[in-house]
Structure 1
Amino acid sequence: MTDLLLNYVAGRWQAGTGAGTPLFDPALGTELVRVDATGLDLPGAFRFARETGGAALRALTYRQRAGLLAAIVKVLQANRDSYYEIATANSGTVKNDSAVDIDGAIFTIGQYAKWGDALGDVRALRDGDAVKLGKEPVFQSQHLQVPTRGVALFINAFNFPSWGLWEKAAPALLSGVPVIVKPATATAWLTQRMVRDVVEAGVLPAGALSVICGSSAGLMDQLESFDVVSFTGSADTGAVIRSHPAVAQRSVRVNIEADSLNSALLLPDAAPGSDAFNLLVREVVREMTVKSGQKCTAIRRILVPAASYEAAAEAIGAKLAGVTVGNPRNETVRMGSLVSRAQLNAVREGLDALRTQASMLHDGSAQALVDADPAVAACIGPVLLGARDADAAQRVHDIEVFGPVATLLPYRDLDHAVALAHRGQGSLVTSLYGADEVALGQAAVQLAASHGRVHVVTPDVAQAHTGHGNVVPMSLHGGPGRAGGGAELGGLRALDFYHRRSAVQASPAVLAQLGLPQS
């Protein structure tokens, strides 16, 4: 039997009492390790994190906690090569795709270390200026934010075992809130290894960071009123979390990132062959193939003027035809596998559903694999669908196929295109391509209400833009409606989730003693 990964709770490494769930290499089909959380003392684990870890973190200033993040960066950088090996084996990603997860995480932690250092040696944050409560300024109200006196539970998705942890943990730890992470079982190895390395390096106080690998059963039951929970995954599971007594009765704060049918929109001025047209084609192909399309921000719907439909189908299909798929260890392979055979089956089922209302424009689903057995590997080539009647193709606007699949949709005019983008019922991101700055600006404002991020690409930013699907710590990550209604990152805005706002009403002399940073 393969090794059983240990859980780290209550300040020590602990094995589950069960046989464990195996984790597999999705390209080769071999068993790698097992995970199990059976028999753990969950009440004790949460109590230790909440009381011991929380007290130690809150005793530090923001600048000191920023120093902890900087120390984490050094630990992860020192072990970076081993993380790439685990990602290749357990997630089936090629090196460039692993970098999105691993290096993206390290970059994000580093940013919060810098921002936290600038907050200074204080333990509470000023929220606006003091305002007088009467005619004379002798009695005033000062809003401030203080760390919540609870624990942050992260229930994460399988597609980003590194970044998914650290983009949440960085602002949580900087805020002074201890973290318990429950990674998705299928790819838990990388999360567990990173936590192990940080714990063994001794850079965090006891109880500040815990990891539970295996089933999530019972985790929500441990949450108390001042705890917070952040979930990334399906809308169905998100609904279960929202209805849990911890949320519904104990008012546990919840952040959810769920399904998202993101779109890319080519403006009417961007004719086939133009720079903006070519930028859209390049970005669509990249978003369909990075991490085999297993990104919550990937492009799922491509909106183009009706007159450009055939040209877009031909240009995107031609680039997709050159994408090699298979074993990520082979240097000629550009796109690796999905994370599991179960995910492969889910993609195939989703494709079948979409094909009832869309036609095949490029079919990579049966292409030959490089160094991989199609009977074993969880690999599928990129698939471009098309629906000439974008209004009637309801399933295209409802079903997210979490793999290398996108659908091309024609629109009549820009108002029609914006309406189609809104049909996603709330998305993490949309991207716009064109050169008409007035039209782009107006469309961006129209789309902002249903999208967490509007990414505008003009020819002058061709080499500078960060990418439709790349989530950067400076910008908001989240979206309304079916995208979950959550909000992460966005610079220091991320700290809001882990703080409690209060108004202190007192004389100016008393307010001066609150230890707040200067306004």
Structure 2
Amino acid sequence: MTELLSNYVAGRWQAGSGAGTPLFDPVLGTELVRVDAGGLDLGEAFSFARETGGAALRALTYKQRAGLLGAIVKVLQAHRDTYYEIATANSGTVKNDSAVDIDGGIFTLGQYAKWGDALGDVHALRDGDAVKLGKEPLFQSQHLQVPTRGVALFINAFNFPSWGLWEKAAPALLSGVPVIVKPATATAWLTQRMVRDVVEAGVLPAGALSVVCGSSAGLMDQLQGFDVVSFTGSADTGAVIRSHAAVAQRSVRVNIEADSLNSALLLPDATAYSEAFKLLVREVVREMTVKSGQKCTAIRRILVPAALYDAAAEAIGAKLAGVTVGNPRNESVRMGSLVSKAQLNAVREGLDALKAQAAVLYDGSQARLVDADPAVAACIGPVLLGARDADAAQVVHDVEVFGPVSTLLPYRDLDHAIALAHRGQGSLVTSLYGADEAALGRAAVQLAASHGRVHVITPEVAQAHTGHGNVMPHSLHGGPGRAGGGAELAGLRALDFYHRRAAVQAAPGVLGQLGLAQA
């Protein structure tokens, strides 16, 4: 029998009581490890993290906690090769795609270590300036933020087992809040191994970091009023979390990142020979194929002037035709697999739904796989769809296919294009392509209302921009409406979620003794 991965809770490694759920290689179909959380004393786990881990973290200053993040970075870098091997086996990703997850997580930790170091040796953050409460400045009000005295529960998605942990844990630990992570079962191995390495290195206080592999049953029941929960996944599961008594009755703070029909928009003044057109085509192909399209920020809808619809279809299709799909261990393969057969079936079902109102412009779904058995591997080539009547094709604005699938949509004018982008009902990101800075600026402001991030690409930043789908710790990650209404990262703004705001009303002399850092 394959190894049963242990859970780390209440300061010790504990095996589940069941036989475990198997995790598979999505290309070879072989069983890798098993996970199980049955029989764990979750009450003990949460109490230990909340009381022991929380107290130890809060006793440290922001600068000291930043040092902990730096220590984690060194541990993860030392084991980096092992993480790549696990990602290849369990997620089916090629090396470049594994880097987005693994190196992206390490980079984010490093950034928060630097930002936290600058906060200094203090235990609370200044929130604005003191204001007088009367005619004379004898009695004033100073707002501050202090770490919440609870635990941070992370219920994460399958597509980023590394980055999904560390982009949340970095601001949480820096804030002084202990973390319990529940990784998605299908790809839990990488998360568990990273936590294991950090725990065994002894760089964190006991109870600061825990991992529960397997079922999430009972986790939400343990949450108390000062705890927080952050979820990444489907809108349906997000709705269940929002309706749980912990949130509805005990006022547990919740952050949700859910479905997102992100768009890419080419400005009306572009031509088929313009640099902006070429940049759009290149970015669309990259976003369709990186991690096999399994990114919450991937481009799902491509908005182009009606006159360029055919040219865009031809250009994108031509580039997609050069994408090799199959076993990520083969160096000739550019795109690996989906994470499981279940996800492959979901992509195929989603494609059928979109095809009811969209035509197939490029079909890589039946392409020959490299070093992979199509009867076993969860591989599918990229598929470009198109709908000449973007207004009537309602399904493409409603259904997200979480794989290498995108839909080309023509628009009449810029106002029409912006209206189509808004029909995503709230998205994580949209990207704009053009050379007219004034038009791009106006469009960016209009799109900001329904998007967490607006990524503007002009010819001058062709080599400098960070990518439509790359989530940088410096910028907001989240979106309104169907995207979940959440907010992560954005520099030190991420610490807001793990802090409580309060006002101290006192004489200036007392306020001067609060020992606050400017966030």
Letter in 1 for 2:2: T
Q: Which amino acid aligns with 1:183?
A: P
Counterparts of 1:477 and 1:152 in 2: how far apart (Å)? 18
Which residue does the alignment assign to 1:185?
A: 185
CA contact (8 A) 2:132 2:138 kept: yes
The match for 1:249 is: 249
Aligned equivalent of 2:517: 517
CA distance in 2, matches of 1:249, 1:270: 53
Structure 2 partner of 1:164? 164
1:342 partnered with 2:311: no
Gaps in structure 1 of 5+ consecutive residues: none
SS at match of 1:449: helix
Partner of 1:409: 409
Cα separation, 1, equivalents of 2:357 and 2:276: 29
Aligned to 1:458: 458
Q: Deviations over 1:389-429 (max 9, x none)?
A: 00000000000000000000000000000000000000000
Alpha carbons 2:387, 2:408 under 8 Å: kept: yes
* Deviation digits for residues 171-204 of structure 1 (CA, Å, limit 9, x no counterpart): 0000000000000000000000000000000000
CA contact (8 A) 2:127 2:518 kept: no
1:114-171 Cα offsets, whole Å, 9 max, x none, are: 0000000000000001000001001000000000000000000000000000000000
**Structure 1 residue matching 2:505: 3-state secondary structure:** strand
**1:518 Cα offset (Å):** 6.4
Specify the alignment match of 1:204 in structure 2: 204
Amino acid aligned to 1:159? N
Please name the residue that 1:382 is paired with.
382
Shifted more, 236-245 versus 508-517: the winner is: 508-517
Q: How does 1:93-492 map to 2 (within 5 A)?
A: 93-492=93-492
* Alignment match, 1:24: 24
One-letter amino acid of the counterpart of residue 190, structure 1: L
Q: How far apart are 1:42 and its partner, in Å?
A: 0.1
CA distance in 2, matches of 1:294, 1:424: 18
Assess if the C-alpha contact under 8 Å between 2:320 and 2:382 holds in 1. yes
Aligned equivalents of 1:127 and 1:515: distance in 2?
A: 12
Distance 2:94 2:170 in 1: 26
Cα deviations across residues 414-468 of structure 1 (Å, max 9, x unaligned)? 0000000000000000000000111100000000000000000000000000000
Post-superposition offset of 1:270: 1.3
- Aligned length, in residue pairs: 519
Equivalent position amino acid for 1:429 in 2? V
Measured in 2, the distance between the counterparts of 1:213 and 1:133 equals 52
- Distance in 2, Cα, partners of 1:517 & 1:234: 37
Consecutive aligned runs of 4 or more in structure 1 exceeding 2 Å deviation: none
Between the aligned partners of 2:193 and 2:503, the Cα distance in structure 1 is 42
What SS does the corresponding residue of 2:428 show, helix, strand or coil?
A: strand
2:94 maps to 1:76: no
**Displacement after TM superposition at 1:50 (Å):** 0.1
User: What residue in structure 1 maps to residue 14 of structure 2?
Assistant: 14
| Structure 2 SS opposite 1:23 | strand
Shift of 1:516: 1.0
Q: CA deviation at 1:517?
A: 2.5
Mean Cα deviation higher: 506-515 or 226-235: 506-515
Structure-2 separation of matches of 1:270 and 1:468: 19
TM-score (norm 1): 1.00
Q: For the residues of structure 2 that align with 1:345 and 1:112, how far apart are their CA atoms?
A: 38
Instruction: Output the CA distance in 2 between the equivalents of 1:245 and 1:434.
Output: 48
User: Are the equivalent residues in 1 in contact too, given 2:125–2:518 (CA < 8 A)?
Assistant: no
SS at match of 1:517: strand
Separation of aligned partners in 1, 2:3 and 2:11: 21
Cα displacement (A) at 1:376? 0.3
State the distance in 1 between where 2:516 and 2:304 align.
Answer: 51
CA distance in 1, matches of 2:69, 2:373: 42
Q: Retained in 1: the 8 A contact 2:185–2:214?
A: yes
Shift, 1:110, TM fit: 0.2
Distance in 2 between the 1:275 and 1:365 partners? 30
Return the TM-score normalized by structure 2: 1.00
Alignment partner of 2:128: what SS?
A: coil
Q: CA deviation at 1:503?
A: 0.2
3-state secondary structure, aligned to 1:8:
strand
2:5 counterpart residue number? 5
Q: Distance in 1 between matches of 2:490 and 2:306?
A: 36
User: What is the DSSP-based 3-state SS (H/G/I as helix, E as strand, rest coil) of the residue aligned with 2:516?
Assistant: coil
Aligned residue identity for 1:43: G
